[in-house]
A = this chain, B = another copy of it.
C-alpha cells in the first residue's frame, strides 16, 4: 500500500461536517465537560483543530515545497485554543473550522502535487526529517485521533450512568493516550 493523496483529501473534507452533525446544539454536558484537571472538552478540541488549519498543515506544506529540509517547521502550539476561544461559541468554532478546512483543501488541490513533490523532505523541530507525504497523511490521522479523543471525553461524562455496562464499553477503558 502507498499513501494516496486522494484518500487523504477525501477524509479531510468530511471531518468538519461529521463533527458538526455530532456536536452542534448538543447539550453542554457533552460538549463543554472534560476529563478533569486541564484535559480537553469537545469544544477545546475543535479549537485545536482550527489552530492546526491556521498554523500547522498548509504552512508546513508550503515550507517543504519552498525550502525542503533547510528550515525547520515552527513548533505547533498545542495550547493556543485555550486563550483564543474564550469568547466564542461552539457553533462559531464549527463554522470557522469548516471554512478554514475548505479553504486549505482548495489550496492543497491547486498545488496539484505529484509523487516527486510528496517525496520532498522537511524538518520537524523534534522529529527530524519527514516527508510531505507523511505530513499530509498525518493531517488526516490527526483528525481521527481527535475524533477518537472526543468520543472518549464524551463517554467519560456517562461513566457513572452506565452502571455495570462499563465492563463492555471499551471507550471507558481508554487511558487517555489521545489527549
Contacts and interface: CB of A to CB of B under 8 A. Distances in A.
A120 interface: no
B167 A178 contact: no
Number of copies of this chain that the complex holds:
2
Contact of A158 (B23, B131, B140, B158): B140
A69 to B, nearest CB: 13
Contacts of A162: 134, 137-138, 141
Majority SS at the chain A contact face: helix
A21 interface: yes
A161 B174 contact: no
A144 B171 contact: yes
Interface of A: 1, 3-4, 6-7, 10-11, 14-15, 17-23, 26-27, 29-30, 124, 127-128, 130-131, 133-135, 137-138, 140-142, 144-145, 147-149, 151-152, 154-155, 158, 160-165, 167, 169-174, 176-179
Nearest to A154: B144
Q: Which of A135, A138, A176 has the most CB of B within 10 A?
A: A138
A49 to B, nearest CB: 14
Q: Which of A124, A130, A171 has the most CB of B within 10 A?
A: A171
B169 A145 contact: yes
Q: Which 5 A-B pairs have the closest CB atoms?
A: A170-B178, A137-B161, A18-B22, A134-B163, A17-B21
Contacts of A148: 148, 151-152, 155, 170-171, 174
